[in-house]
Amino acid sequence: MFSGLDIDVDTATGVVSPKTHAGRNNFIIEATVRTPPPANKLIDEETIRVHVHSSVSKLMLTPATLTVRPSAPTRTDDETTAYRFTLRALFDDGTMGDLTENHRVTWSPADHVDVDTGQLIILPADAPNTTIEITATLPAALGGGTAKAIMRIGQPWQTDPSMPKASIVAGGGWPGTTLPDTAPNVLLLSDGYVGGDSGAFERAVTTMVTHLKNDSLVRPYDLLCTSMNFWRTFVPATTSGISIRCEISPARPISPTAASSASSCRRPRSRPITASGASST
């Protein structure tokens, strides 16, 4: 155990526990992983900035309504899908964070959502346009707040009369469409564009692809654009607008027993670090 500056770090498990009311809500941890003695060989190093939030001011599920399509028109068993909502929290310091994973969130009702993972479940009797209210609840240690959103059952793609189609972006197959089966294909999907916004979506996509193909600041896309295809698909949304995103990378709570939550930001270094967040479309 390492202790200092009102912060305890379990060197065996990596659990970080700031002392209550220590007044340190932002600090940097430098972690080094080595093989056991006597070799003591360096495996990896990581620098992480930790920000401790005292409380959650507001919870929200995004998007407000999520359309979930079954895999087949006829089903005999419950179908656990890959769809799920993202739980965002507005903290007392004004920052927005992602609490979807690793914060012991529970989900309900149990017949339409996995209580632990938040994956949405479609029942055999669920018909298109059926709506179900989904609730996410934080553990008592994090305030016990709840957030609600609507799961809407969509038409299976196989029977949808308005099946969206992919089309090549203007100039996206420069100088001609590269064979889709033998080249990388990038598909850009609309999100938050309602039925009358198809023109705006097409203009936005064309601008984006033109930028990728001609700006050296987004390299290597400007060098590889002649060997890849850019496609677009317009899927009208029920409401106009964007999904709520978070300002920080999702992270585990600092301590399993702490009444606060933590988020982390990694310092850039010579080797790239991949951090993933959750989003919904």
pLDDT of the residue at 273: 29
pTM: 0.69
* pLDDT at residue 173, rounded to an integer: 61
Q: Which domains occur in the chain, in start order?
A: 56-159 (2.60.40.60), 167-233 (no CATH)
Question: Cα–Cα distance between 246 and 250 in angstroms, integer?
Answer: 9
Q: Is the peptide bond before 161 cis (omega within 30 degrees of 0)?
A: no
Q: What is the pLDDT along the chain (281 residues), one digit of tens a residue?
A: 888 778 888 887 878 887 766 667 788 888 888 888 888 898 988 888 887 887 888 999 988 889 999 999 888 999 999 999 999 998 888 888 888 988 899 999 999 999 999 999 999 999 999 999 999 999 998 889 999 999 999 999 888 888 888 888 877 665 566 677 888 888 999 988 998 999 999 999 999 998 888 888 888 888 887 788 889 999 888 778 876 555 555 545 544 444 445 554 444 333 332 222 332 33
Residue 80: predicted pLDDT: 96
What pLDDT, in 10s, does the model give residues 94-113? 888 888 988 899 999 999 99
